[in-house]
């Protein structure tokens, strides 16, 4: 049973990840990058640089006390802290006086073509950026590598540019997943090999992936537009085009998602059509067999009548004649069906 979070001051992590809570600080400026690791914010605070951008990655949310101390240090509201620890929280973007909060979902590939959804929470301030993830992710490592190499002079820009880079990485991940799904669906739909036609279990798997992506990405459409048209002081005019690029990628994912929905519907129709065709084939074969036996049943019915005088019953070759007549009749009916291409 879900409890009212406004009636409790206790923080609880609602996810399933067992990743121990640990922190990674990346302080950067045009001159270079300084890294530091720790298990608690107290180990990180001495390394925070006031004249640099301080990006703290929090991996694993098991230790709620550590998460709370981090939020308190940066002046993050208690309700936002609760949202960070709520792994089932809906996607949202909130603007506060001194920081922005972005909560979204990230999909990671698992075995058997399954995808696992994990929450990514980003808090952007004037000179700091906090990312809360439930477990380790390669996406953040790639961004850290870009900071070290100063790709696109990323170290010369403000925190909103780093935010746009992270959002773009999330969108790129969704683009990769949805493009692969689209290609697979299209291949299955256009395949001429009956053996490659998906069964009902595979179609249900496609529908689960579709619903997962839709649930993760669709709420961002309204929030991104709202963010782009706001007078947010933390989003500088020079970096707005990068958020427009994020929005373009989002629109691509949404459009491709609609195409996948149509193809999944087409696969369902194709599956039902194939089932109907198989059933029609079975009924056709049963009908042909039944039709062949109709005249044979008629003959057996005649000879089974209890009349006193039936000449062929006492005939020496009557039994043989009956078999020959039945075989000839059955063969004639069969050949008639073959000639008319009914079988």
CATH number at residue 318: 1.20.58.340
Q: What percent of the chain has pLDDT over 70?
A: 95
Burial of 30 (0-12, 13-18, 19+ CB in 10 A): exposed
* Residues 4 and 146 grouped into a single domain: yes
State both tokens at 165.
Answer: 């880079």
pLDDT tens digits along 259-305: 998 988 888 888 888 888 888 888 888 888 888 788 888 877 777 77
pLDDT band for position 44 (50/70/90)? Answer: very high
Q: What percent of the chain has pLDDT over 90?
A: 41
- Asked if residue 3 has pLDDT above 70, the reply is no
Structural domain for 12, as ranges? 1-154
Is residue 301 included in any domain, yes or no? Answer: yes
Is residue 204 included in any domain, yes or no? Answer: no
Q: Which residue, of 105, 123, 154, is where some domain finishes?
A: 154
pLDDT band for position 8 (50/70/90)? Answer: low
Is residue 333 included in any domain, yes or no? Answer: yes
CA nearest to 128, candidates 181, 51, 196? 51
pLDDT tens digits along 83-111: 999 998 989 999 999 999 999 998 887 77
pLDDT band for position 25 (50/70/90)? Answer: very high
Mean pLDDT, residues 123-147 taken together: 92
pTM for this predicted structure: 0.80
Is residue 90 included in any domain, yes or no? Answer: yes
According to the model, what pLDDT value does residue 189 have?
Answer: 80
- Asked if residue 1 has pLDDT above 60, the reply is no
CA distance 328 to 336: 12
* Residues 3 and 148 grouped into a single domain: yes
Q: Which residue, of 154, 183, 213, is where some domain finishes?
A: 154
Mean pLDDT, residues 115-121 taken together: 90
According to the model, what pLDDT value does residue 7 have?
Answer: 57
According to the model, what pLDDT value does residue 163 have?
Answer: 95
pLDDT band for position 26 (50/70/90)? Answer: very high
* Residues 1 and 138 grouped into a single domain: yes
According to the model, what pLDDT value does residue 75 have?
Answer: 95
Mean pLDDT, residues 315-324 taken together: 79
What is the chain's mean pLDDT, rounded? Answer: 87
Write down the H helix ranges in 195-239: 200-228
CA distances from 20 to 64, 117, 343 (A): 11, 18, 68
Is residue 66 included in any domain, yes or no? Answer: yes
Is residue 146 included in any domain, yes or no? Answer: yes
CA nearest to 37, candidates 25, 28, 46, 51? 25
- Asked if residue 235 has pLDDT above 60, the reply is yes
According to the model, what pLDDT value does residue 296 have?
Answer: 81
User: For residue 96, what is the domain's CATH number?
Assistant: 3.30.460.20
- Asked if residue 57 has pLDDT above 70, the reply is yes
CA distance 224 to 242: 12
Q: Which residue, of 104, 138, 154, is where some domain finishes?
A: 154
* Residues 148 and 295 grouped into a single domain: no
Count the domains in the chain: 2
Mean pLDDT, residues 122-140 taken together: 92
Is residue 5 included in any domain, yes or no? Answer: yes
- Asked if residue 2 has pLDDT above 70, the reply is no
CA distance 320 to 60: 87
* Residues 150 and 293 grouped into a single domain: no
Question: Which of residues 81 and 194 earns the better pLDDT score?
Answer: 81
- Asked if residue 6 has pLDDT above 60, the reply is no
- Asked if residue 325 has pLDDT above 60, the reply is yes
Residues 197, 274 contacting (CB under 8 angstroms): yes
- Asked if residue 202 has pLDDT above 60, the reply is yes
Is residue 124 included in any domain, yes or no? Answer: yes
Question: Which of residues 204 and 7 earns the better pLDDT score?
Answer: 204
According to the model, what pLDDT value does residue 299 have?
Answer: 79
Please state the separation of Cα 66 from the chain's center in Å.
32
* Residues 146 and 294 grouped into a single domain: no
CA distance 338 to 343: 6
């Amino acid at each position: 049973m879900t409890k009212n979070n406004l009636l409790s001051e206790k923080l609880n992590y609602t996810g399933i990840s067992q990743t121990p809570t640990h922190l990674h600080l990346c302080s950067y400026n045009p001159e270079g990058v300084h890294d530091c690791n720790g298990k608690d914010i107290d180990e990180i605070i001495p390394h925070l640089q006031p004249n640099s951008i301080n990006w703290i990655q929090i991996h694993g949310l098991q230790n709620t006390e550590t998460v709370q101390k981090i939020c308190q240090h940066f002046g993050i509201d208690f309700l936002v802290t609760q949202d960070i620890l709520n792994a089932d929280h809906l996607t949202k973007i909130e603007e506060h006086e001194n920081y922005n909060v972005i909560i979204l979902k990230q999909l990671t590939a698992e075995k058997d073509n399954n995808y696992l959804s994990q929450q990514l929470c980003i808090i952007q301030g004037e000179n700091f950026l906090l990312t809360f993830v439930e477990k380790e992710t390669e996406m953040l490592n790639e961004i850290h590598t870009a900071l070290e190499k100063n790709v696109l002079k990323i170290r010369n820009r403000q925190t909103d540019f780093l935010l746009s880079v992270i959002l773009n990485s999330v969108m790129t991940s969704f683009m990769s997943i949805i493009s692969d799904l689209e290609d697979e669906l299209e291949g299955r739909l256009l395949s001429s090999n009956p053996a490659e036609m998906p069964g009902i279990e595979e179609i249900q798997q496609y529908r689960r992936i579709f619903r997962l992506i839709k649930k993760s990405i669709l709420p961002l459409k309204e929030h991104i537009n709202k963010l782009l048209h706001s007078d947010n002081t933390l989003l500088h005019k020079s970096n707005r085009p990068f958020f427009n690029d994020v929005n373009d990628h989002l629109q691509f994912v949404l459009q491709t998602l609609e195409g996948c929905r149509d193809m999944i519907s087409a696969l369902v129709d194709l599956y039902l059509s194939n089932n109907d065709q198989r059933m029609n084939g079975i009924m056709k074969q049963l009908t042909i067999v039944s039709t062949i036996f109709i005249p044979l049943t008629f003959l057996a019915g005649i000879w089974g009548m209890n009349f006193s005088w039936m000449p062929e019953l006492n005939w020496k070759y009557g039994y043989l004649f009956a078999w020959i007549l039945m075989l000839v009749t059955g063969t004639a009916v069969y050949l008639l069906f073959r000639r008319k291409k009914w079988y």
